[in-house]
């Protein structure tokens, strides 16, 4: 990052640049004495997001992180589970306990069947007012981001959305919520020094899911809430499942195979498709191939196309111009296949293969197919990855 430190204060909240913050933390940070009324707030809460009795995995990621934060703060981890029937809530409660919650707050009411801002916000706000947690964490999903913002406004506290890192500043016991800003070009660590609870939503998929310990026990607290269905303005009429959108899948795919002008003919995309299917991924491409009509416009990756964050991006016949690079930089690993050893893509690829894709891709496909057929006999990871070029 290498950028200078930026301080800005707003209602006792402190914004620092992630890097360099370490050094200046104690020296430059203004001491803010926490309002004694707020000092009694204790414990870390995780709101467990569920739809139709199935919890969103980000909830478990957060429980794992909360466990770690709780050790530093020497407090308990609690999960909050809402639902329309005791049965569904119990199932999720058991899961939450197995993933590390010490306590589970349950609210069961028919009005909590489908997510709606009003009843969910009211229930969560009431729970927080009653039990006073120090930290409240939610997933940065469409549902929880909606909930978090309305809860934070009612509680008049600070909320940091879409965090990628959560830690504790030991000195002030405050939550350091780090999130990318300006399209990911800056990392910003935000603290809520004088308001409680400290709220944050965390981006799904960045924190590891802890190993579950089935049968782990904890305290379960059942809360009754007065929910007046008449007063809830939102009514859920029906659910329309989103139609199959392939472009949508490109943004969330774990593996993306991208093709560029180096493919020479549209027909060669079939090879990429085959590779992508074997890896359970999607196909994308550069501006020139979209312009040439070899690929649908929704599959363009880059500055004017999509920004993707797959675990693996395989760039085939792509020079790696900056306008393409900005769309793939967030990939966990970039594999480049290009016949030109001087192609800019090799400057930032994690694995670079210099060669003709017409030899390399079919060879990769052969290996993957062979592996799939022999998977039952040997563990994939025991065998080195070999590619034979004919």
Ligand X SMILES: Cc1cc2nc3c(=O)[nH]c(=O)nc-3n(C[C@H](O)[C@H](O)[C@H](O)COP(=O)(O)OP(=O)(O)OC[C@H]3O[C@@H](n4cnc5c(N)ncnc54)[C@H](O)[C@@H]3O)c2cc1C
DSSP 285-334: E-HHHHHTTSS-GGGBBSTTSB----SEEEEES----HHHHHHHTT-SEE
Candidates 53-61, 98-106, 313-321, 370-378; binding stretch for ligand X (CB under 6 A): 313-321
| Residue 50 near ligand X by CB under 6 A | no
In the complex with ligand X, which residue's Cβ is closer, 108 or 308?
A: 308
Contact partner, 292, from another protein, ligand X, none, Cβ < 5-8 Å per class:
another protein
| Residue 260 near ligand X by CB under 6 A | yes
Q: In the beta sheet, which residues pair with residue 163? A: 202
Q: Token pair of 344, please?
A: 């800019």
Contact partner, 344, from ligand X, another protein, none, Cβ < 5-8 Å per class:
another protein
Q: Is 137 helix (H, G, I), strand (E, B) or coil?
A: strand
Residue with tokens 């919650």: 101
**DSSP strand pairing (174-181 vs 186-192):** antiparallel
In the complex with another protein, which residue's Cβ is closer, 197 or 288?
A: 288
- Footprint of ligand X on residues 131-150 (CB under 6 A)? none
- Footprint of another protein on residues 107-146 (CB under 8 A)? none
Q: Rule CB under 6 A: choose which of 144, 174, 198, 319 binds ligand X.
A: 319
Q: Is 71 helix (H, G, I), strand (E, B) or coil?
A: helix
Q: How far is the CB of 303 from another protein (least distance, A)?
A: 8
Nearest-5° Cα angle at 337, 336 to 338: 110
Contact partner, 317, from ligand X, another protein, none, Cβ < 5-8 Å per class:
ligand X
- Footprint of ligand X on residues 355-374 (CB under 6 A)? 356-358
- Footprint of another protein on residues 276-335 (CB under 8 A)? 287-288, 291-292, 297, 303-304, 321-323
| Residue 196 near another protein by CB under 8 A | no
Strands across the sheet with 44-48, in order? 159-163, 198-202, 135-139, 44-48, 77-83, 103-108, 219-223
Q: Which residues bind another protein (CB under 8 A)?
A: 264, 287-288, 291-292, 297, 303-304, 321-323, 344
């Amino acid at each position: 990052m290498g950028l200078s430190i930026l301080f800005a204060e707003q209602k006792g909240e402190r914004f620092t640049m992630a890097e360099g913050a370490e050094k200046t933390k104690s020296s430059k940070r203004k001491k803010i004495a926490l309002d004694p009324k707020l000092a009694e707030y204790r414990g870390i809460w995780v709101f467990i997001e569920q739809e139709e009795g199935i919890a969103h995995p980000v909830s478990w990621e957060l429980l794992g992180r909360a466990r770690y934060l709780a050790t530093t703060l020497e407090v308990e981890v609690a999960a909050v589970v809402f639902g329309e029937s005791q049965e569904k809530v119990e199932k999720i409660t058991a899961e939450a306990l197995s993933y590390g919650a010490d306590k589970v707050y349950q609210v069961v009411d028919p009005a909590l069947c489908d997510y709606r801002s009003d009843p969910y916000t009211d229930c969560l706000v009431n729970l927080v007012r009653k039990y006073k947690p120090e930290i409240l964490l939610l997933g940065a999903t469409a549902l929880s981001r909606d909930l978090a913002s309305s809860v934070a406004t009612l509680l008049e506290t600070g909320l940091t959305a879409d965090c990628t890192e959560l830690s504790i500043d030991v000195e002030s016991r405050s939550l350091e919520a780090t999130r990318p800003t300006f399209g990911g070009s800056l990392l910003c660590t935000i603290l809520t020094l004088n308001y409680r609870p400290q709220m944050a939503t965390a981006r799904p998929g960045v924190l590891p899911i802890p190993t579950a310990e089935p049968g782990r026990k904890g305290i379960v607290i059942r809360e009754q809430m007065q929910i007046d269905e008449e007063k809830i303005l939102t009514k859920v009429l029906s659910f329309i499942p989103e139609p199959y959108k392939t472009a949508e899948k490109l943004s969330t795919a774990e593996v993306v195979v991208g093709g560029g002008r180096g493919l020479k003919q549209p027909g060669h995309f079939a090879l990429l498709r085959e590779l992508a299917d074997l890896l359970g991924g999607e196909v994308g491409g550069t501006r020139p191939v979209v312009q040439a009509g070899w690929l649908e416009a929704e599959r363009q990756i880059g500055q004017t196309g999509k920004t993707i964050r797959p675990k693996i991006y395989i760039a085939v016949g792509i020079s790696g111009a900056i306008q393409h690079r900005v769309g793939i930089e967030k990939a966990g690993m970039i594999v480049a296949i290009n016949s030109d050893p001087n192609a800019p893509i090799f400057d930032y690829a994690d694995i670079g293969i210099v060669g003709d894709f017409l030899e390399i891709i079919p060879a990769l496909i052969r290996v993957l197919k062979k592996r799939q057929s022999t998977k039952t006999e040997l563990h994939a990871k025991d065998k080195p990855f070999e590619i034979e070029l004919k």
